[in-house]
A and B are shown apart, each in its own frame.
Chain A
Amino acid sequence: MAVGTQRSTANDTGTRPTNTLSAVWNSRWMRRFRRDRMAVGGIIFVVLLILVAVFAPWLAPYDPAEQHIIYRLRGPSEMFRLGTDEFGRDVLSRLIYGSRASLVVGLASVFLAGILGTVIGGVSGYLGGRVDQIISSVTNILMSFPSLLLGLMVVVALGPGTTNVVIAVALSLLPNFIRLARGPVLALREKEFVQACRAIGVSEARIILRHIIPNILGPISVMSTLWIATAIRTEASLSFLGLGVQPPTPSWGNMIRSGVNNILSNPWLAVFSGLAITVTVLAFNVIGDGLRDALDPKQRP
């Protein structure tokens, strides 16, 4: 056992943690992470955003579908804080409800792709040989499509709609996860500690589970966070092209689409919905960067 794990789950000198949660909280990387103000800010923003999505009906000043026809395409005012869209619907209320689509697509698709991709990539890299060859070439083929085009293709095949967008975005991220897991595993396979395990007769499954996976969890959790950001962007892009979340369900992507269509009469619509996407994606990116810095102090400037 002692041969293995390069990065221990790290509780520090002396202090014995009472449970796993406090062990994580007090671990060295967690303390580094907590000091990273940007990353903590990102976490706070995401938590607030989740609350906004959950409590949308209580927070939104108007029903997101309610049309105030006389007030079409108005800029920000007392009555409509962020203005109205081409049907006279309140932009602020629609942004609040739209957070649901972005979060659901972002989280669900990365979760799906992360689990599938790590398993497939890890096994492929570790086993090598014919299995690896087949999986890698399929991955390469999937990679040969930019994630947006792949997502586009899946959505064209399955039809638009939130569930299909989740599948499309997950599939578009899958090759990334496979490659991410495969690379380090391929390198780790040749490391002395793995060869030592093999020499003393540790089973393949145990080597993968106990010695390889813990070593790649760092990069995978970092990249998962960053890919939530990518997923939200892909959803926005698909919806922007009119192939994602379908109106009347508000999503930031389809709001920006109607914003572009009405850019001359109410530029605010595109600006605000794009801003919502940007800030949310930024929050996830900052968290991801913070995690990377905390988990891999070598890369810190």
Chain B
Amino acid sequence: MKAYITRRLLSIIPTLLIVGSIVFFVMRMASGDPATAMLGASATAESIARLREQLGLDRPLAVQYVDFLLNALRGDFGRSYATGRPVAEQIFAAFPDTLELVFWGMLVGTLIGVPTGIIAAVRPNSIFDYASRVVALLGLSMPPFYLGILLLLLFAVNLGWFPVISTPQPGFFGRLHAVFLPALSLGLVQASFIMRSVRSSLLEVLQEDYIRTAHAKGVPPARVHYWHALRNALIPVITVFGLYLGTLLAGTVLTETVFNRPGMGRLLVGAIQQRDYPVIQGGLMIYAALIVVVNTAVDILYGLVDPTIRYD
């Protein structure tokens, strides 16, 4: 087991290396020249050539590639073509806002999703089960940004309880006020996914023979449900949690756009529109790194909680 964990942790390094390569080459495949994009259509060939030289775009691709990887290793993603500021600086400035949104979104999702999933599974076909399933189905059928738009229309445009542009204000409550609607819209969609997987997983476990045995030998129902069953039911949920966190991260890109909230997603989308390669590369690398780490943690956790999985 220890060897497995070590191996899993070490595998993060080549993974990130490959991710970096994919990101680099995909970005370079992108049609369009950043120098031209920066200077606009009216620029002369001479000024474009000069800018290309300044940005190091005239060097051989292989040199640029090795350079990119070595620098990325040091956390240096170059300077933004658009602003001239270091990419790392821009990312670190945007990162806390996104992390805040992810945290609250995941919290809302888990706090709503897990208990509703459990109650629905323990009382299958009850009104609660039926209602929560319908709501969850609706939640995961909405495009992640649509719920945001509806919340925005209701609470910001019509009721005026929240700002239409949710720029975080100083202070804990100022931040909370700004993150509330975005986190709610992300979290509710997330809750739908979590509720469904908790419910179906628990429902499956509850039909196992050992549960019937537990009931038969007189174990109190609550203990059967929450001790015997839930522990096994949460195993598959753990694996999907990693996926959900990824979806949530991607969801922030849309949510930040809907709510005009600063963050990594806005930075990334803006960079894509401006063909600001260093920012796109840096942003994607950070997203990927986060998710690789989460997936590795989930894999290790999975091995710890389910001894029947074999790793060789």
Contacts and interface: CB of A to CB of B under 8 A. Distances in A.
15 contacts: A141-B19, A145-B287, A145-B291, A229-B141, A237-B144, A240-B145, A256-B143, A260-B258, A263-B157, A264-B157, A274-B150, A278-B143, A281-B143, A289-B137, A301-B125
Chain B contact residues: over half helix, strand or loop, or mixed?
A: helix
Contacts of A145: 19, 246, 284, 287-288, 291
Interface of B: 11, 14-15, 18-19, 22-23, 26-27, 29-31, 124-125, 129, 137-138, 140-146, 149-150, 152-153, 157, 200, 203-204, 207, 243, 246-247, 249-251, 253-254, 257-258, 268-269, 272-273, 280, 284, 287-288, 291-292, 295
B254 A141 contact: no
B247 to A, nearest CB: 6
A271 B144 contact: no
A253 B29 CA distance: 25
A211 interface: no
Contacts of A30: none
Contacts of A23: none
A285 B135 CA distance: 13
B188 to A, nearest CB: 13
Given A146-B249, A159-B31, 16 more contacts: A140-B295, A143-B246, A143-B295, A146-B246, A147-B250, A156-B272, A233-B143, A253-B143, A264-B157, A267-B153, A274-B146, A274-B150, A277-B143, A278-B141, A278-B143, A298-B204
A152 B149 contact: no
Interface string A124-155: 00000000000001101101111111001110
Contact of B200 (A253, A259, A299): A299
A271 B151 CA distance: 11
B30 A237 contact: no
A236 B269 CA distance: 15
Interface string A238-272: 00111100000000010010011001100100110
A149 B287 contact: yes
A301 B273 contact: no
B29 A157 contact: yes
Nearest to B273: A242
A208 B160 CA distance: 60
Interface of A: 137-138, 140-141, 143-149, 152-154, 156-159, 229, 233, 236-237, 240-243, 253, 256, 259-260, 263-264, 267, 270-271, 274, 277-279, 281-282, 285-286, 289, 298-299, 301
B137 A148 contact: no
B295 A263 contact: no
Contacts of B144: 233, 237
A289 B134 CA distance: 12
Given A145-B291, A156-B30, A282 B141 contact: yes
Contacts of A242: 273
A291 to B, nearest CB: 14
A281 B249 CA distance: 21
B141 to A, nearest CB: 4
Contacts of A154: 26
B146 to A, nearest CB: 4
A140 B246 CA distance: 12
A263 B150 CA distance: 10
Contacts of B280: 156
B273 A149 contact: no
A301 B120 CA distance: 10
A71 B113 CA distance: 44
Contacts of B137: 282, 285-286, 289
Question: Can you list the 9 inter-chain pairs with the closest CB atoms, starting with the nearest?
Answer: A146-B250, A301-B124, A282-B141, A148-B250, A274-B146, A281-B141, A146-B246, A157-B29, A144-B291
A149 B250 contact: yes
A141 B18 contact: yes
A240 B254 contact: yes
Nearest to B247: A146
Residue of B27, B31, B153, B250 contacting most chain A CB atoms (<10 Å): B250
Nearest to B293: A144
Contacts of A236: 143
